[in-house]
Amino acid sequence: MNSSLGSEIDSFYESAPPLKERDSIMEKLNEFVELNCKGTKRVVCVTSGGTTVPLEQRCVRYIDNFSSGHRGAASTEYFLKAGYAIIFLYRRGTSQPYCRSLPDDPLLECFEATDELNIQVRQPYSEAVKRAIRDHHAAVAGGFLLKLPFTTIFEYLQMLQMVAVSLRSLGPLAMFYLAAAVSDFYVPWKSMAEHKIQSGSGPLDMRLVQVPKMLSVLRTEWAPMAFCISFKLETDTKILLDKADMALRKYKMNAVVANELLTRKEVVVVVTDSEKISVQRDKTEAGSDVENPLVKLLVDRHSAFINDFNA
Ligand code: 9Z3
């Protein structure tokens, strides 16, 4: 890592407001590692949803990054199916594993009161609700699924660091699947207004600083032996694959999943140093999604990576 990146990273962490629940997150991570990090068990950290950039310390306004969290939630289900233990680092309020087939407001839509004291599941949702509750509870109660919520870029990057350092001892058995949409620019905490910015003071002039590229540190320091997958999102298909290729080389990722905003649910391209593999949703199958073949492919590649490592 070059020294200017090193000092950008130091100043990001030094200026970030301390994580409120650091101790309890650490405790949960330690428990998860103790339970899952033995033998040949594989673990994946799935990041999901967009980070926010607060504009005021007592935040009323913020800049957001688009992501519904569908990619991360769906992929988590497939990784669990493939036998992985998962740390699901997600933006509060975004899609959750096993809830994809439920309506937006499941509590109000899926249940009805039968009398003063009792409620029941409404018929059309009965199977979906049962499946969601059963599978979700089994994963959490079994200790295979640890869910950690974030909102701001400060929380996200502090938590990602904690997760990565906790998984370092797993070496190649750990995977990072970085689907979260991460802010590129932020307002350093120390130069941020404390109170709500007043609208009477004319046009708003604000300087945003570049968020340091933490993929480099993840790769070189936090978890150097892990299998790392990052995502590249563009709205212009003409530059997508070149940008993915650049990210692959610059951050030494094992693969970069390239996707375009409008077609992201239909097709993605997995870019590695020797191939560009197009992965499509199976249109002949109702309810199918692109995460199913994508996770299958990455699980296979992870197996090969572990075998090479042990050879
Ligand atoms: C993605 O590209 C994800 O696939 C999506 C998923 C956010 C498009 P949804 O959550 O959408 O299912 O609605 N994530 C990565 C986006 C990102 O910020 N990548 C950085 C970049 O493109 C690199 S880390 O520069």
Domain boundaries along the sequence of the chain: 3-225
Closest ligand 1 atom to residue 66 Cα is 7
CATH of domain 3-225: 3.40.50.10300
Q: Identify the residue whose C-alpha is closest to ligand 1 atom 23.
A: 232
Closest ligand 1 atom to residue 247 Cα is 23
For 17, left (φ over 0), alpha (ψ -120 to 50), or beta?
Answer: beta
Q: Identify the residue whose C-alpha is closest to ligand 1 atom 5.
A: 67
Alpha-carbon dihedral angle through residues 56, 60, 63, 65, given to the nearest 10 degrees = 130
Can you list the pairs that 93-98 forms with residues at least 24 positions away whose Cβ atoms lie under 8 Å?
Answer: 93/49, 94/48, 94/49, 94/50, 94/67, 94/68, 94/69, 95/48, 95/49, 95/68, 95/69, 95/70, 96/69, 96/136, 96/147, 97/73, 97/136, 97/139, 97/145, 98/131, 98/132, 98/135, 98/136
Pick the closest to residue 222 from 179, 172, 160, 178 (CA basis).
160
**120-152 pLDDT tens trace:** 999 999 999 999 999 999 999 999 999 999 999
**Alpha helical stretches, state H, the chain:** 3-15, 22-36, 70-81, 106-110, 126-141, 153-167, 214-217, 237-250, 291-310
> If you compute the radius of gyration of the chain from its CA atoms, what whole number of angstroms results?
21
Q: Identify the residue whose C-alpha is closest to ligand 1 atom 17.
A: 181
Pick the closest to residue 279 from 287, 252, 288 (CA basis).
288
Ligand 1 in reach of 73 Cβ (< 6 A): no
Residue 305 and residue 30: Cα distance in Å, rounded? 26
Q: Are 205 and 225 in contact (CB under 8 A)?
A: no
Ligand 1 in reach of 259 Cβ (< 6 A): yes
Q: Identify the residue whose C-alpha is closest to ligand 1 atom 20.
A: 232
Question: Residue 2: its pLDDT value, please?
Answer: 64
Ligand 1 in reach of 232 Cβ (< 6 A): yes
Q: Which stretches of the chain drop beneath a pLDDT of 70?
A: 1-3
97 DSSP assignment: T
Ligand 1 in reach of 179 Cβ (< 6 A): yes
Q: Identify the residue whose C-alpha is closest to ligand 1 atom 16.
A: 181
Q: Identify the residue whose C-alpha is closest to ligand 1 atom 7.
A: 67
Residue 229 and residue 209: Cα distance in Å, rounded? 25
Q: How far is the CA of 311 from the centre of ligand 1 (A)?
A: 34
Ligand 1 in reach of 47 Cβ (< 6 A): no
Ligand 1 in reach of 253 Cβ (< 6 A): no
Which two structure tokens, joined as six digits, stand for 195?
Answer: 């109170």
Q: Identify the residue whose C-alpha is closest to ligand 1 atom 14.
A: 179
Choose which residue among 240, 245, 262, 264 to substitute to test ligand 1 binding: the one with the highest number of ligand atoms within 8 A of its C-beta. Answer: 264
